[in-house]
């Protein structure tokens, strides 16, 4: 799962993320907008943008914390604790829509992706061997007995509450129902392949897919906001 939608413009809330590459290669991060996309590549021990503007020097296995924000309506700044790089882009400052993590090009992990105070994504690791992934799993999981591996093969949920006015309707977004399967390489499941079945329906309303009540939906339905929760006013 690579698309991380931003909830507001970069002028209003910065995006922060940690990048821990295990191999310095390729273009794992893309900041997407309809009129300009910015790529962050990792080559020759450096993180740099597609314009070949160096952002930071980098070593394999080291974690780089980046903050991306607009300091003026047309000046995008990418900062680390050591340095700051600026790129002129009114397009990205006014209309950046999402951060795309190219899982094929990512060797390592992107984690703690925040916009302002909002956690957009906890962790996405790709092309990392299971042992490397397990060292970064959280405490509860690593203390589980290795004999019973199935019990640790659980998806992690990053579900934010959905707010809806009484009697109103609101589309569910991926961050309301996020299955974070990528934390465990043994699952080897992409969120693209995830489908959902409703076990207990909502108490005060219904879930609609293309305006019809539904008990099943796919992750793709969430991404295009086709799944709507309608409150019944009670």
Ligand X SMILES: *[C@@H]1O[C@H](CO)[C@@H](O)[C@H](O)[C@H]1NC(C)=O
**Burial state string for 143-160 with b = 16 or more CB within 10 A and e = fewer than 16:** eeeeeeeeebeeebebee
Considering only 8, 23, 35, 233, the residue that binds ligand X (CB under 6 A) is 35
Token pair 């809330």 in the structure block, residue: 13
Q: Which stretch binds ligand X (CB under 6 A): 119-127, 145-153, 158-166, 209-217?
A: 145-153
Q: Which stretch binds ligand X (CB under 6 A): 19-27, 34-42, 103-111, 176-184?
A: 34-42
Any contact of residue 143 with ligand X (CB under 6 A)?
A: no
Pull the structure tokens for residue 43. 């080559």
Pull the structure tokens for residue 126. 């790709």
Mask: binding to ligand X, 180-199, rule CB under 6 A, as x and -?
--------x-----------
| Strand locations in 166-220 (E) | 169-171, 179-180, 195-197, 205-209, 212-213, 216-218
Rounded CA separation 225/228 (Å): 7
Any contact of residue 135 with ligand X (CB under 6 A)?
A: no
Considering only 16, 36, 46, 137, the residue that binds ligand X (CB under 6 A) is 36
Any contact of residue 151 with ligand X (CB under 6 A)?
A: yes
Q: Compute the least distance from the CB of residue 173 to ligand X, in Å.
A: 18
Pull the structure tokens for residue 181. 């399967």
Note the residues at the interface with ligand X (CB under 6 A).
32, 34-37, 148, 150-151, 188
């Amino acid at each position: 799962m690579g698309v991380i939608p931003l909830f507001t413009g970069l002028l209003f809330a910065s995006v922060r993320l940690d990048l821990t590459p295990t191999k310095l290669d390729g273009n794992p991060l893309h900041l997407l907008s309809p009129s300009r996309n910015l790529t962050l590549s990792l080559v020759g021990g450096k993180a740099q943008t597609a314009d070949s503007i160096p952002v930071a020097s980098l070593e394999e296995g080291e974690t780089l914390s980046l903050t991306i924000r607009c300091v003026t309506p047309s000046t995008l700044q990418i900062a680390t604790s050591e340095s700051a790089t600026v790129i002129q882009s009114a397009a990205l400052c006014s209309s950046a829509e999402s951060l795309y993590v190219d899982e094929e090009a990512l060797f390592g992990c992107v984690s703690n992706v925040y916009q302002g105070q909002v956690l957009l994504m906890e962790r996405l690791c790709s092309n990392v061997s299971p042992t490397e992934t397990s060292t970064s799993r959280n405490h509860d999981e690593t203390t589980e007995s290795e004999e019973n591996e199935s019990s640790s093969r659980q998806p992690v949920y990053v579900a934010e509450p959905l707010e809806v006015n009484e009697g109103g309707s609101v589309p569910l977004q991926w961050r309301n129902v996020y299955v974070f399967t990528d934390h465990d390489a043994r699952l080897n499941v992409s969120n693209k392949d995830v489908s959902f079945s409703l076990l207990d329906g909502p108490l005060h309303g219904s879930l609609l897919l293309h305006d019809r009540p539904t008990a099943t939906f796919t992750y793709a339905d969430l991404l295009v906001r086709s799944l709507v929760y309608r409150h019944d006013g009670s």
